[in-house]
Amino acid sequence: GPAVSAALAAQPGWEAQGAAARAAILLKAADLFEAAHGEVFALAAREAGKTLADCVAELREAVDFLRYYAGEAPKHSGAARGVIVCISPWNFPLAIFTGQVAAALATGNAVIAKPAEQTPLMAALAVRLLQQAGVPEGALQLLPGDGPSVGAPLCADPRIGGVCFTGSTEVARLIERQLAKTASPDAMLIAETGGLNAMIVDSTALPEQAVRDILASAFQSAGQRCSALRVVYIQKDVEGKVLDMLEGAMADLALGDPLDPASDVGPLIDQDALTGIGAYCAETAADGREIAALATPGSGLFLGPRMVRVSGISGMEREIFGPVLHVASFEADEIGEVIKGINAKGYGLTFGLHTRIEVRVQTIIDSVAAGNVYVNRNQIGAVVGAQPFGGEGLSG
């Protein structure tokens, strides 16, 4: 209640500053974010278990968002919506947090930010720097806590102008129902939710390139990205060769302390994640579907990257948010069926394709229902301003 009241009071003054002034503040914040890189990297590794390469990408994306929305703000006319509730996830505790907040602030809205309960320190740092850059305290407030005690009451406040959310499809539906019940008719919901992201590797693909990109897409950030590859379909003609190479490449990944430059894969976010995903992996090992798995360091919340055999995406009930790659195969003439199966699942965040047949690229781009389609590259790490990111269907 009081946070929304304070935001409502501060919003008109913030909007009245004008787009150019707001843009200047966001640009100043971008410089402050970059200057604080040491603190950002330490926090990203300590609080979110990010490896150093991921730390750099995290800061880069946050800064890109600030500059992107600063550039966009003056192009938009029309009134702000009022108070926007921004609910962000732990897997990009600076980048997604900043993207949501910057977009809302740029357009003259006040923001109440509810970061994931696992990563409040990074959010606190971001808010401190944004306020230092000139965003008024009332216009940007941080409300840390969990969903039921903080997120839910915020979304139920009838005075808010909308919610920006990144997280599970299930929670997005709860928010949607809540807004329909209590919010004003023009309140908006922007939601980017989960995925069951697939990649198809046909017999013309360059195996070395495919293996490199599968490895990054499935196991970077310990697979804890909404965009990560969850099921790879490999054409039977090349399956043996590609799987051999994948196993060899996977065995070379180093698990360990994310602050150690030698580490390729850091820990999972928390004990709940390890328990849940660990149980799933034990099941797949017990029923003989595990193709290969890496051993874990003695301590810490680590799960060794692994590959698991599946018949296809239809057999996967839910997204496993960790370093688990599901492998399916297909005959050359079944590619159309594979695409149908992927679309039928109803998610559509990212999709990957490795092929050297130009006409196949076009056919598949035209028929896959996914927000981002990546050809002959990895399917993570959309670049702000160059690759707009967002899903279709159950993914957004």
Say how many residues make up the chain: 396
Number of H helices and E strands in the chain, helices first, is 13, 12
Q: Which one of 86, 155, 164, 226 is the catalytic residue?
A: 226
Q: Which of 362, 376, 368, 361 is nearest to 392 (CA)?
A: 368
8 A C-beta contact, residue 140 and residue 110: yes
Tokens representing 202?
């046909």
Tokens representing 184?
């004003």
Active site residue 86: no
Active site residue 61: no
Q: Which one of 47, 58, 192, 319 is the catalytic residue?
A: 192
Amino acid found at 19 = A
Alpha carbon distance 206, 209 (integer Å):
5
The three-state (H, E, C) secondary structure of 77-109, written as one string: CCCCCCEEEEECCCCCCCHHHHHHHHHHHHCCC
The DSSP result for 255-315, as a single string, is: B--TTSTT-SB---SSHHHHHHHHHHHHHHHHTT-EEEE----SSSS----EEEE-S-GGG
The DSSP result for 177-232, as a single string, is: HHHHHHS-TT-EEEEE----EEEEE-TTS-HHHHHHHHHHHHHGGGG-STT-EEEE
At 136, is the secondary structure helix, strand, or coil? coil
Q: Which of 148, 143, 190 is nearest to 165 (CA)?
A: 190
Q: Which helix (H) or strand (E) holds 140?
A: strand 140-142
- List residues with catalytic annotation: 192, 226
